[in-house]
Every structure is written in structure tokens, then in C-alpha cells.
Structure 1
């Protein structure tokens, strides 16, 4: 039986400050993650992991795709109130009622309305 001792692989431990420095180097305009990883002798996938872990400074400035929904323009639910014209008379009664009268109302109909409001 072979008594060869097993060698345990050790992963390199990177100080947090250096990880953040590498992530910041990736955020420089025109920087490539793979080029920065080579400069620091780090695996590119490790740098992507650190970018996610430390907020990915470059990711904040990256364009994002957002959902857009286009709907046809809806007509207003109710017609806008008619604009006052010169053919409108407004009468404010002492009881607090206000009556707006257009030029096309008949005098008899107006008399009925005014009499009814006066009795209130």
C-alpha cells in the first residue's frame, strides 16, 4: 500500500481592500474585467464574483433593460366643462344659489327655475 501523503490544496486568501481595489479598477471607463484580472493575476470569474459581492461599481452605471408597455391613448372619461362665453349670464341669489343661463333658454323656463329657488 502506498503511504503517499495527501497534499491539501490551499486557496489564496485575498485581503478585502485588494478585492475592492480590483473591483474599482474594473469600473474605470474602458477597463476590461479580463485585463484587470490578468494584471492582478486573478481568475476572471473570481473578479465577477467580487463585483457582485462588493456592489459592482461598474454595474451601477451599466445600461439596464426595463419593460415598456404601450397603450393607445384613452379618451377622457367625461367631457371637459364648457368654457364660459359671452352669451352666458350668471345670477347669484341671496340664498346662496348661483344660476348660469345660456342664450338659448326660454324666458318661461327661466322664470320657473328662479321661482323655485326663491321659495327655498
Structure 2
């Protein structure tokens, strides 16, 4: 008589809808969440979560590239002296570039300008 082995557990080739993927991604990357814990709850590998996130970023990057007409300029302010900042001109974001260099992004800058400036720094 032959031997039969029965594997129990979830089916390995599961199909996830876009809504399910987005819900799992939102859960995994919410503040204070642990990706490994979310993966265990949904019985998926951590690499799958990062693959989904990468594909989602590619889709959004392609959409942003097609929607922009071209490069833009971000508002820049040169401060002379010891770098003293005035309270009415306080930047919303300061990026330290090293060697004492900084890039300041002000609240008046549009999201497209900020995106272009940060992509240029890569």
C-alpha cells in the first residue's frame, strides 16, 4: 500500500485584490506598525509586502512624471551672516547636506517644487 501525504494550510497561489493589497500595505506601514507582525497575521511573506509597495510607488511615479510638464524651480533664500533665521522666514523643512551645507524648503513652496528639488539632490 502506498503512502499519501496531505499538506494542510493556506493555498500558496492566492490572489489578492487591489483593495486587499492597499489595506494590507496601509496596515503594514502605518505609524507604530511592525511589517513582520502584519505579514504573520495575513500569512504572507515580508518580501511580498515590499514588492507590492515598490509596484505601487512605480505606478505613482509614472503618474507624476506624465502629469508634470517639465522641471520647475523651488523658492530659495540666501541668508548672509551667521545663519540667523528670522521667525517669519522659518523653513518648514531643512535638509542637512553635510560639510555645513543646508537646503531650506519653505511652506510657500508647492509640492511639485519640493519634489523637483529633492529629486535634484539625489
Interval of TM-score (by shorter of Structure 1 and Structure 2): 0.3 to 0.5
Q: Which has the higher helix share?
A: 2
TM-score normalised per structure 2: 0.37
Q: RCO greater where, 1 or 2, for CA within 8 Å and sep 6 or more?
A: 2
TM-score normalised per structure 1: 0.38
**Higher Cα radius of gyration:** 1
